[in-house]
Amino acid sequence: MITAMNDETGRLTGDEQKIRKTFVNYFKNLYSPPAHTTQTNQQHDQTHDRTNYFQTMQQGEWKLIPESDHHHLTKLPDYHEIRKILFQMGPDKSPGPDGVTCRFLQENWPTIGPDLVAQIRHIFATTVVPENWLQCNVVLIPKNNEPLSPTDYRPISIGNVTYRLLMKVIANRLRPYIQKIISKEQTAFISGRCITESIVLVKEVLHSFNSAQFKEKAFMLKADIMKAFDKMEWVFLRDAMAALNMPDKLINLVLYSFNHAKVTIQVNGMGDGFIIPTRGLRQGCPMSPYCFIMVMEMLTRKLRRAQEMQKIQGIRLARTCPILTHFIYADDLIVLGNADATDVQELGRILAEFGKVSGLTINPVKSKLWLSRRCDIQARQLVHNKFRADEAGSEERYLGALLTNSNSAKKAGTMLLEKLSAKLTGWKSNMLTHVGRLVLIKSVLMSIPVYYMSVEILPKGLIKKMESLIAKFFWGKTDQVRYMSFVSWDRICQPIEKGGLGVRKLKNFGEALFLKLVWGMISDDEKLWVQVCKSKYYSNLGFWRARNVAGTSPLWRQTVRMRDYFKENVKWQVGDGEKIHALSQPWFQGWQVASQATRDERRVKVASLFDYELNQWKIEEMTRLLGHEATTVVTQTVQKPCRIPGLGDKLIWNCTAAGKYTVKEGYDQTMIRMNPQREDVPWYFIWKWKKIAPKVRMFMWRLLTNGLPLAQNMHRRIHSISPRCTRCQLEDEYPAHCFFFCHASRLVWFGGNLGIRTDELPIDIKEAVKYITNGMNDDSICEFCYTLWEIWLARNEFIFQQKNFEPIGVCRKVQTWLRNREDLGRENEHYQMAKEIVPYEFLPGGWQIVIDASWDATHKAGTAFLVYYEGALTWLEMDNHEAADSFQAEAMALQNAVDWIQGTVQAVGSQRCKIFSDCINLVSAVQERNLENLPSWRSRPIIANIISQLHQLDRWIFVQHVTREAVKPAHEMANKARRMSIAYRGIPMASIMQEHSMGMEIDSRFFQQVQENPP
pLDDT at 991 over 50: no
- Where residue 592 falls (left for φ over 0; alpha for ψ -120 to 50; beta otherwise) is beta
pLDDT for the residue numbered 852: 96
pLDDT at 636 over 80: yes
Q: Are 962 and 920 in contact (CB under 8 A)?
A: no
More confident call, 737 vs 586: 737
More confident call, 956 vs 447: 447
First-residue to last-residue Cα distance in the chain? 50
pLDDT at 172 over 90: yes
Label residue 284 by pLDDT band (50, 70, 90). confident
Rounded to an integer, the average pLDDT of 584-596 is 79
Q: Are 666 and 516 in contact (CB under 8 A)?
A: yes
Quick check: is 792 in a domain?
Answer: yes
pLDDT at 90 over 70: yes
Label residue 254 by pLDDT band (50, 70, 90). very high
Instruction: Please spell the DSSP secondary structure of 807-821, one letter per residue.
Output: HHHHHHHHHHHHHHH
More confident call, 385 vs 484: 385
Same structural domain for residues 524 and 489? no
Rounded to an integer, the average pLDDT of 441-454 is 90
pLDDT for the residue numbered 58: 61
pLDDT for the residue numbered 406: 63
Label residue 17 by pLDDT band (50, 70, 90). confident
> Residue 594: what residue type?
A
Helix, strand, coil share of the chain (percent; to 5): 50, 10, 40
CA distance 1 to 443: 25
CA distance 496 to 506: 17
Quick check: is 387 in a domain?
Answer: no
Q: Is 729 exposed, middle or buried (0-12, 13-18, 19+ CB in 10 A)?
A: exposed
pLDDT at 999 over 70: no
Same structural domain for residues 421 and 530? no
Q: How many domains does the chain have?
A: 6
Same structural domain for residues 70 and 159? yes
Same structural domain for residues 881 and 744? no
pLDDT at 365 over 80: yes
Q: Are 999 and 993 in contact (CB under 8 A)?
A: yes
Mean pLDDT for the chain overall: 86
The domain in which residue 603 lies consists of 570-653
CA distance 583 to 597: 8
pLDDT for the residue numbered 833: 44
Q: Are 698 and 715 in contact (CB under 8 A)?
A: no
Strand, helix or coil at 157? strand
Closest CA to 223 of 325, 301, 302: 325
Quick check: is 331 in a domain?
Answer: no
Same structural domain for residues 670 and 712? no
pLDDT for the residue numbered 880: 92
CA distance 917 to 900: 16
The dihedral built from the CA positions of residue 819, 825, 826 and 831, taken in this order, carries a sign that is positive
pLDDT at 975 over 60: yes
Label residue 273 by pLDDT band (50, 70, 90). confident
More confident call, 692 vs 677: 692
pLDDT for the residue numbered 836: 46
Domain boundary (282, 304, 326) is at 304
More confident call, 665 vs 912: 665
Same structural domain for residues 495 and 519? no
Rounded to an integer, the average pLDDT of 422-444 is 86
Highest mean predicted confidence (pLDDT) among 343-352, 421-430, 744-753: 343-352
CA distance 328 to 330: 6
Give pTM, 2 decimals: 0.86
Rounded to an integer, the average pLDDT of 475-497 is 81
Label residue 955 by pLDDT band (50, 70, 90). low
Closest CA to 353 of 84, 56, 793: 56
Closest CA to 650 of 571, 581, 593, 592: 571
Quick check: is 193 in a domain?
Answer: yes
Strand, helix or coil at 857? coil
Give the domain CATH number at 996.
3.30.420.10
| Model pLDDT for residues 776-813, shown as the tens digit of each residue | 888 898 899 999 999 999 999 999 999 999 999 999 99
| Model pLDDT for residues 921-930, shown as the tens digit of each residue | 999 999 888 8
Q: What phi and psi, each to the nearest 5 degrees, are found at residue 397? A: -120, 155
CA distance 33 to 278: 8
Same structural domain for residues 743 and 827? yes
Quick check: is 400 in a domain?
Answer: no
Q: Are 637 and 589 in contact (CB under 8 A)?
A: yes
Q: Which residues of 815-839 are buried (b: 16+ CB within 10 A; e: fewer)?
A: eebbeebeeeeeeeeeeeeeeeeee
pLDDT at 941 over 70: yes
Rounded to an integer, the average pLDDT of 941-969 is 84
Same structural domain for residues 995 and 985? yes
Quick check: is 343 in a domain?
Answer: no
Instruction: Please spell the DSSP secondary structure of 354-407, one letter per residue.
Output: HHHHHS--B-TTT-EEEE-TT--HHHHHHHHHHH--EEP-TT-EETTEE--SSS
pLDDT for the residue numbered 394: 79
Q: Which residues of 858-877 are buried (b: 16+ CB within 10 A; e: fewer)?
A: eebbbbbbbbbbeeebebbb
pLDDT at 691 over 80: no
Same structural domain for residues 630 and 720? no
Virtual torsion, Cα 321, 326, 329, 330, nearest 10 deg: -150
Task: Please state, in angstroms and as integers, the Cα–Cα distance from residue 468 to each residue in 78, 446, 506, 794, following that order.
Answer: 55, 13, 11, 33
Quick check: is 464 in a domain?
Answer: yes
Domain boundary (304, 323, 355) is at 304
CA distance 450 to 641: 40
pLDDT at 382 over 90: yes
Strands 984-986 and 872-882, by their bridges, are: antiparallel
| Model pLDDT for residues 717-768, shown as the tens digit of each residue | 899 999 999 999 999 999 999 999 999 999 999 988 888 888 889 999 989 9
Instruction: Please count the other Cβ atoms lying within 10 Å of the Cβ belonging to residue 418.
Output: 10
Same structural domain for residues 518 and 575? no
pLDDT at 825 over 70: no
More confident call, 872 vs 696: 696
Q: Are 767 and 784 in contact (CB under 8 A)?
A: no
pLDDT at 41 over 60: no
Quick check: is 359 in a domain?
Answer: no
Label residue 110 by pLDDT band (50, 70, 90). very high
Rounded to an integer, the average pLDDT of 846-857 is 91
| Model pLDDT for residues 489-504, shown as the tens digit of each residue | 999 998 888 888 999 9
Same structural domain for residues 197 and 228? yes
Same structural domain for residues 61 and 180? yes
**Cα R_g (the chain), whole angstroms:** 33
Domain boundary (272, 304, 336) is at 304
